[in-house]
Amino acid sequence: MTKFIFDFKRNHCDYCYGFCNIITRGANQIDVSVFEKMRNVRVLAANESLLPGVDLPGGFFSIIEGHLLLQLQFGDCYKTVKICGPGEVIGMGHWFINNSYQFCALESTTLCYFEKGVFTELMRSNPEASVQFLQYFAEQLHHRELRVAALQNISVKNRVCSVLFSLSKKFGVNSKDGLVIGISVSRKVISELCGTSVESLSRVISELQEDFIIERLGRKIIILDVSKLLRLATS
């Protein structure tokens, strides 16, 4: 079980480019210290999961550092829909819809937790903060619409290459054999990120191995030819 961590020696707000600074950008009357009083810092260890609404009351999270898997509930199971990183906000959309979600840390991940009621009161009392908040989510919605449109007309192979390239950009570690994706991600998770089945993913992985674009060593993936992978991801 994780615990709230109040770290006064290390002021995360001094270097965080997350939600607070996004909301206060260009605003003349909003002090980021207002958000610092509202938030609690929480650290998840690698592979640790958190179920908001069960482990914590209603609220949302902004990632300070690290990466985690965002998993939404579909029927009786949870499926991975995104890998989230620093600056991203998780959970606010679920205030308005009845859909359960959870997340699992891929590495040690530091989060800011904002309780819903306190944040809602700030929005009501500060119109400028509300405007910045709406602008931020309008931008996020636009990016999602572009992503959905881009995915509609590409093949499974393109999607797999796109996800592998994204993983290599976020977690790639140079080695004598190539660019090693420095986290262990199961085929099930990768297939969910690609929006395909494990069987289809396996076929594409085999094709990429035969073309000497990637190599698998156990659960590790090594990118042998980054430029070819990128071309397949964007073709």
Q: What is the pLDDT of residues 159-208, one digit of tens each?
A: 999 999 989 988 899 988 899 998 888 899 999 998 899 999 999 999 99
101 and 139, same structural domain? yes
CATH number for position 223 = 1.10.10.10
List of E strands, 66-165: 68-74, 77-84, 89-90, 101-105, 109-115
What average pLDDT does the segment 146-169 reach? 84
Residue 163 lies in a domain: yes
190 and 90, same structural domain? no
What average pLDDT does the segment 13-34 reach? 57
116 and 30, same structural domain? yes
Contacts of 61 (CB under 8 A, 6+ apart): 42, 52, 89, 90, 91, 111, 112, 113, 114
Q: Residue 113: what pLDDT?
A: 83
Residue 6 lies in a domain: no
- In this predicted model, which residue has the larger pLDDT, 158 or 89? 158
Report d(CA 80, CA 92) in Å as an integer: 18
- Asked whether the whole model's pTM tops 0.85, one would answer no
27 and 137, same structural domain? yes
Q: Which domain holds residue 105?
A: 12-151
Q: Using the Cα atoms of residue 176, residue 200, residue 186 and residue 147 in order, give the sign of their dihedral.
A: positive
CATH number for position 89 = 2.60.120.10
Residue 3 lies in a domain: no
Q: What is the pLDDT of residues 169-179, one digit of tens each?
A: 888 999 888 99
Report d(CA 201, CA 204) in Å as an integer: 5
Report d(CA 70, CA 169) in Å as an integer: 18
Burial of 136 (0-12, 13-18, 19+ CB in 10 A): middle
145 and 34, same structural domain? yes
22 and 135, same structural domain? yes
Give the model's confidence band at 7: pLDDT under 50 very low, under 70 low, under 90 confident, else very high. very low
Give the model's confidence band at 224: pLDDT under 50 very low, under 70 low, under 90 confident, else very high. very high
158 and 147, same structural domain? no
**Are 170 and 85 within 8 A, CB to CB?**
yes
**Two tokens at 52?**
């908001």
Report d(CA 68, CA 138) in Å as an integer: 23
208 and 144, same structural domain? no
**How many domains, the chain?**
2
**Two tokens at 99?**
């859909």
Percent of the chain with pLDDT over 70: 77
Domain boundary among 119, 151, 183: 151
